[in-house]
Structure 1
């Protein structure tokens, strides 16, 4: 309701300004000199406000301009009938152009809104909701696209509660648009299925590598044109997590007010690049992870975000501020802060996934 009132108040103000300018030009013609600025200048007003007013408002403005122009040309212009007709025709023509431009803008706006809705549905379908029944863990994830016109990108995350324990994937597919989101969807579907059968993270990574290679075989283009960074996690031990990275941005581990970057000794290359190597080693590592600890995984849209002066976003430094909050609060604060840091202009899609290990008294029974 408040948005509707705000939009209508803005429209009324714009319309009032347009009529004020129109009347001002008319009065100049009547009381100063009909040739300064001249009747033709009245036609500029509806054309100029076509970008701000709806078609019906521009049509009314154009009609008023035509009436004022007719009065000025008939009563004050010392020219021939043909010249007066030309002047009046220009005003009417500019009014028609203004109405057409406004109608075209509105039509394109509606089409863009429909495209945004369709692609947002697509993105939500790809990024399935985080499971709510994850005893012992609090998990939250957010996605912010850089391309606000289409709302699709290649960032991906998935959380699966398998028979082997909770499995988490965060990744970033090269490129943007439908191609990137389709590849992301395929990899996430593969992960969600394989997580139930592969107890080891190297096994999961091998499955994902095989699947992205199949995508390259199914579609046109060299194999090295389609790849994705990814990081995999296994939460199935009381005091440790296991992780494996395929060229992805190192996650941060929050504990006792400190943020530690989890840079692994062996980092496998991105998924989809196996053909460039003689042999790939997928190595998983155990990391201490006790109640109260928080794991924050992001894509490079966060770590490489820059402010208008070109300064990178201080990821770890800012994150410490919210380490004592819940997973959802941390994700919300981080995305909001990145947006503020960049002035609302992200250069790349940004995804955030936060996993907080709950204390014993916070754990809910398994449903």
Structure 2
């Protein structure tokens, strides 16, 4: 339209601007308008920075702010908040703070969104102390922090291990008649679980119910992980049941966390039941799930069941990793089923992974013990060809059997 003799209206250009998917298109329209003598109006100049910030082109947004000032149009808190948010998302929190302090020059008062934007940017930049200073600045300027303010700060404090300070903020929220939401509780629960203070995390979980705050997927997953790390599998399993009862689905990571602890405690049947439960809940087991269970079954001498799980794994479209191959090769070598062990060795490449030192060491040891030293030496050559050097155990095994 701009190339034809018909001159579009400002409103038409503004509509075009809102439909663009890339910042270069918006910039091109802006330049074309200038070339066609179409002066952007106040609405368009306020639309452009939003477009540029959405596509992480804040330097262009800052240029538009300069243009607005030259044309004598007033700046607004909403516009500056938008650009500060864009700068913070790009990691340019220092420039965002400069723009924030510049509000005074434009006789504009920052609002809670202005402060939240900067606090969030500072926390993401791991400058939590400066973010806390910004909270004090809010009080000095008569701007009341909201739930979002506290959420951001508590999350930042917990990530750096300052859970006590985060708890002080929670208490402050209550004093200010603000009820923390699930995001606030999740930040604190995660902080306490990471610090191995699960009892305090559980106390917070109970506190959620008292104010009618419903736990979500993150709440349960975090608590299950914390309890598992403390070896409290019974309580972790109880939370899984509660989670499912409340209509929330656990993911494969949560199931793997539980299975790992069950395997360490040698609770094979419970772990296998959990695998079945995953299927019923529509959660697809991954390679880690299968390798954990296959290792446990092999350790207990239940090789046939381990092989059955391997077949199930293939059927579900998953390829076993080198860890699974090594586990099964080790079992077969111990049973002197060397041909089967070799078959698994040859399958490693087909699965898209490479044999490692453990693979070769296990096979060489098995063939040496089976009095098949020549084949063991052949495996040693293959090991060298693949750029792997045998360890001391492998050398000693070969030396001992070759000397016989």
Kindly name which structure, 1 or 2, has the bigger radius of gyration based on alpha carbons.
2
- TM-score, normalising length from structure 1? 0.31
- TM-score, normalising length from structure 2? 0.29
Q: Which has the higher helix share?
A: 2
